[in-house]
Structure 1
C-alpha cells in the first residue's frame, strides 16, 4: 500500500493540475507572515476546488507522504526524551511527531469558507480511503482537528420551527435520514406545538445545520412511528405531555463522520425541554433497527439456543420473500414471539460485536437503556426491509446515563425486565 502512495505522489508531482496545488500547500505551511498565510490559504482553497475529481487521490497521497513527520527528527527527539525525560524534551518530541499537514489544515481553516472547504475535503478523502486504506493516516489528522473545532461547547443549539427561513427548512427536508419528509405539509406537521425540532450550528457555517433531532411530545412512550408522523396536532398537549420521544436524528455534514455530536444534542435538548416543560417525566426514543434483517440472514455458529426461533422466522420469510405491511400484520403469534426474542438477542448480546446494530450502539453508549421492543411499529417499505417492522424504545433516565454509559464501556447492555423476559423466551 505504501508503494501505491509513493507512486501516486510521484504522479502528482508531475501533474500540471496537482503540482501547483501542492506547491501552494508547501508555501502555506512554511510561511510565517499572517497576511501571506491568509492569501495562500485562499489560493489553496481555490486550487483544490478546481482540481478534477480524478486527481484528488494523488493529492491526498502527497499529503500522506510529503507532509508527514521527519522520521530522523522523531527518532532523535524520542532518544533525547528517553535519555532525559524533561519538559523541554517532551515539547520537542511533541513538535516532531505532529505531521505538517495538521498545520496545513489549521491554516486552511483560517480563510473565509475554509471550514466548509475542509468538510468537503474530508468527505472526498473518506470516499477515496475505501479503495486506498493508507490514506486513513490523513483522515486521522482531519478527524483530530475537526473533533476539536466542532466541540459542542462551540456550537449553537436552535429550535427549528415554521418561522425559520425557507432555506433552512429545505435543508431539514433534504437531510432527514430516518423518516423521509414527503413535502412541506409533512414538515409543517413535524413542527406543530406538540412537536419539536432542534439543530446544532457552527459559527463558521452560518445557517448550515450540522445535525438535528425531531421530538414528539406525547402522554405515553410511543410504540409505533405512524401516529407520531400522521396524527392531528393537539394544540393543548404542551401542558399535558409527560413524555418526550426522540424519533429521528439526522447528520447533515458527511465530513463530520466520527465527530461525536448526536449524544450531546440529545442530552442538551432533554435539558432544555425539561426547563421549558417541567411536567415531562420520560425521555425516550422510538428507534429503527437497521441491521436486524442483515443479521437474520447471516450464518451464526454455536447458536443452538436460538435455532428454533431462527427456523421459525426463516420459514415465514421464505413464505413471504417480499413482505408487505399486510403480511407483517398477519404474522402469527409464534413467529412474532420468535422475532421479538431474536431481536432482543441481537441487541443485548450482539451490540458489541462487529455486526452490531449502529443505532443501538449509539444510544447504549450514550447511556440509554434498551426499554421495549415494538412489533409492527414501522410498516413502511424501509421499516419492513430493515427490521420486519420492529422498532425499539431506548430510555434516557437523565440521572443514570453516566452509569449506563460505563456499563456499555464494560461490555454490558443495560436493558429492562421486559426485554429480559423476551430474550429468555427463545420460542422453542
Structure 2
C-alpha cells in the first residue's frame, strides 16, 4: 500500500528532527538501540522525538537475535518501575487518598518502558515494530521467564491499542489486493492452503472469508475466518476443501460452517479478537443471506492426543484395556483403513473425546483451547464427527475427530453467561450422554 498522507507528514517531521539531532549531537550521538531509547525518553521536542523513534524502528529491524534479547534485558532491568517511588506513593495515598496522590501512585506503578513504547509508536511503522518486538519476546519467554513483567506491559499496551473499537471487519474475496491474499496463504493455521487455485476455491460463490484489520496495519490481517455455505451440518472437512465438490447456490443453502479460524500475528498472542469476529460475521451473513438458519463450526480438537498419551489406567467408564488399545491403534499408520481397527476403537474413542471436552478441566475451564474459545463465545458443543479430518495433522491431533460447535442465535448470550459465571459446558444431549458414559 502506498504511504498515507499522515505517514508522509510524520516522515517529513522525522527528517527535520534528524537534522536537528545531527546538528546538536554530531558524530558523538549514540546510535545503539539502547542509547536511542534512553535519548527518546528524555527528548522533549516533537520533531526530534519522532526522529529518534524512527531510528529505533530502523535499528530494531536490522538487529541480530542476540542483541534483541539484550534489548529486552535492558527493558527489564533499567526500564522497570522504581520500587522506592512506589512505596512512597503508596504511603502517601494511605495517608491522604486525594486525586493528586492517586495520580502520583498510578504514575509510580507504571514502568518507564510503557512510555518508551508509546513514544516508539509515534514513528512511521511504530505499531508494526512493537508487534514484532512482542513476537520475539513471546518466542523467548520459555527460556527467559524473568522477562514476563516486560511481556505483561507490552500486552497491556497492545490490548488497549487493538481494542475492538479500532478494528474493521472486511470481506476477503478474489478482488482483494494480492498482498493480502498472499498473507492468507501464509497465515492459514488450521487447513493449509495449497497455492492460488486452492485459495480461489475457498473464495468461491459458496464460500465466505472475513478478516479484522487495524488502521495502523492496513495490509496485515489480524485474524480471519473461512466459511462454507452448505445444506445441513457438515461432519467432515475434506469435502469442504476439495476442488471437486459441487458449488452450492448461496441463496438456497441453510447453514454457515466456520471451518477455519486463524490468528495471524504472533505478537498479539493473548489478545482475543475471535469472539467479536464470530458474532459480527454471523450478523453480516444473516443480513446478506436471510436463508441461513444455522451457524456452526467444524473444529479441531488440538490437545486430545497429547492429553490421551498422558493418561494411564481407566479413564471414566473406558477401561484401561480399551484405553491402551485406542492409544496403540492411533499409533499405527493407516489404522483408519482397517475395518477391524475402526470397529474396535470407534466407540471408546468417541467416549474419550467427549470426556476430554466436557470433564477435563483446569481452574474450572476445559483444557482444550478451541473448546474454551467457542464456549466462551456462547456456542453449544453439538456433535463429535468420526474421521472428520483424515489429514496428517488431523490424525496426529485427535485421531481424525472433528467437533461441531453450534451457535444458536436465541441462546448465545445465555450460554455465554452460563459458561462465564457458572463455568458450565453447554452441550447437546448426544455429547452429554457420551460424556456421562465415560465419567460413570
Q: Which TM-score applies when normalising by structure 1?
A: 0.90
Q: Does 1:60 align with 2:72?
A: yes
1:216 aligned to which of 228, 233, 238: 228
Q: Call closer, same or farther: CA 1:421–1:355 in 2, change over 3 Å.
A: closer
User: Which residue number corresponds to residue 175 of structure 2?
Assistant: 163
Q: For residue 326 of structure 1, report the CA deviation from its aligned partner.
A: 3.9
1:175–1:35 Cα change, 3 Å: same
Shift of 1:92: 1.1
- Write the distance in 2 (CA, Å) between the matches of 1:187 and 1:262: 22
Residue 321 (str. 1) matches residue 355 (str. 2) = no
Aligned to 2:376: 365
Tell me, in whole angstroms, the C-alpha distance in 2 between the residues paired with 1:316 and 1:72.
Answer: 59
Within the alignment, does 1:394 sit opposite 2:385 as a pair? Answer: no
How far apart are the structure 2 equivalents of 1:200 and 1:408?
A: 25
* Structure-2 change in CA distance of 1:307 and 1:219 (3 Å): closer
Among 162, 165, 183, which residue is 1:153 paired with? Answer: 165
2:419 matched residue in structure 1: 408
Residue in structure 2 matched with residue 379 of structure 1 by the alignment? 390
CA–CA separation in structure 1 for the residues paired with 2:338 and 2:173: 35
- The count of corresponding residues between Structure 1 and Structure 2 is 409
Higher mean C-alpha deviation, range 49-58 or range 66-75: 49-58
Question: Which residues in structure 2 correspond to 1:36-75 (within 5 Å)?
Answer: 36-75=48-87
Task: Tell me how far apart the structure 2 counterparts of residues 361 and 275 of structure 1 sit (CA, whole Å).
Answer: 28
Q: Which residue does 1:312 correspond to in 2?
A: 322
Q: Which residue of 1 aligns with 2:27?
A: none
CA deviation after TM superposition for structure 1 residue 104, in Å: 0.6
Mark the CA change 1:329 to 1:30 in structure 2 (over 3 Å): closer, same or farther.
Answer: farther
Q: Matches of 1:31 and 1:359 in 2, distance apart? A: 46
Q: Does 1:350 align with 2:360?
A: yes
Aligned-partner Cα distance in 1 for 2:75–2:39? 14
Superposition RMSD on alpha carbons, in Å? 2.1
Which residue of the other structure, out of 233, 236, 242, is the alignment partner of 1:230? 242
Q: Kindly state the Cα deviation for residue 323 of structure 1 after the two structures are TM-superposed.
A: 2.9
Deviation at 1:176, TM superposition (A): 0.7
Gaps of 5+ in 1: 1-17
* Residues 217, 243 of structure 1: 8 Å contact kept: yes
Whether 1:109 and 2:125 are equivalent positions in the alignment is no
The 5 Å alignment of 1:131-280 reads 131-230=143-242, 232=244, 237-280=249-292
CA contact (8 A) 2:230 2:248 kept: no
Helix, strand or coil for the counterpart of 1:223? coil
Name the SS of the counterpart of 1:306 in structure 2: coil
TM-score, structure 2 as length reference: 0.88
SS of equivalent to 2:222: strand
SS of structure 2 residue aligned to 1:240: coil
2-side partners of 1:135 and 1:165: how far apart?
38
Deviation at residue 317 of structure 1 after TM alignment: 3.9
The Cα offsets for residues 185-220 of structure 1, whole Å up to 9 and x where unpaired, read as 211111111100111111111221111100011111
Q: Are the aligned partners of 1:334 and 1:427 in contact in 2 as well (CA < 8 Å)? A: no
**Structure 2 match to 1:423:** 435
Relative to 1, partners in 2 of residues 1:236 and 1:374: Cα closer, same or farther, differing over 3 Å? closer
* CA displacement at 1:315 relative to structure 2: 1.4
Q: Deviations over 1:236-258 (max 9, x none)?
A: 52111111110001111110101
